[in-house]
Amino acid sequence: MTQDYIAGPAGALQLVPELPAGPPRAVAVICHPHPLHGGTLNNKVVHQLALSFRELGAVSVRFNFRGVGESQGDFDEGRGEQQDLSAVVGWARDRWPDLPLWLGGFSFGAMVAIRAAEVLRPQRLVTVAPAVNHFAAGPFEAPATDWLVIHGGADEIVPVADVRALAETSPQSPHLVVLDGAGHFFHGRLNDLKRSILDYFPVS
């Protein structure tokens, strides 16, 4: 695993870029869950998102938000974390300027990705178990992009009804996949999570 460090708005940011098997067709930046609850770029759902994106032919870029791992700074309740994401996207666009941008995120990271998408304008957005009931960083506009939402039908942290409401009231009408019986952390269901992504997006 090769790590990189870039200048972020609150200090250095730690990231891990990984190439797909063949020529890359996109670059996917992935946001991890809540920094104050153990969320890091090594989270297993984040790993599965990265693997799924690479199977679709994208470069995957996982990174640690400010104050996590070897990234500098302090937790900023989602506001500064959106700035961190923008810095990583800027780095990725400089490195792979001809590739379209995809964004992904899990839980807290899913909400960071959703809120930043209006400005960053990704071609694709994949949000897993977005923490709509735990995120208070102000109002946001729905991202105008090809948007997939995946949620566990037995999520014990974010009620599936709240995520259905997000999908149903969004003017962008994201495609919602509910995995029956899956909890918030998708224990034993990571392959189903990956299959949901690969089934929705074309491989070529």
pLDDT in tens, 117-174: 989 999 999 999 999 987 765 556 777 899 999 999 999 999 999 999 888 888 888 9
pLDDT of residue 33: 97
Q: What is the CATH number of the domain that holds 9?
A: 3.40.50.1820
What is the pLDDT at residue 138? 54
CB 39 within 8 A of CB 71: no
pLDDT value at position 203? 74
Per-residue model confidence (pLDDT) at position 170? 83
DSSP 3-state of 46: helix
pLDDT at 2: 81
Q: What is the pLDDT of residue 199?
A: 96
Residue closest to 58 by CA, chosen among 29, 27, 30, 91:
27
User: What is the domain extent for residue 98?
Assistant: 4-200
Mean predicted lDDT score pLDDT of the chain: 94
Eight-class DSSP state of 75: -
Which DSSP string corresponds to 97-116? TTSPEEEEEETHHHHHHHHH
Number of domains in the chain: 1
Mean pLDDT of 62-80: 97
- Across residues 93-116, what is the average pLDDT? 97
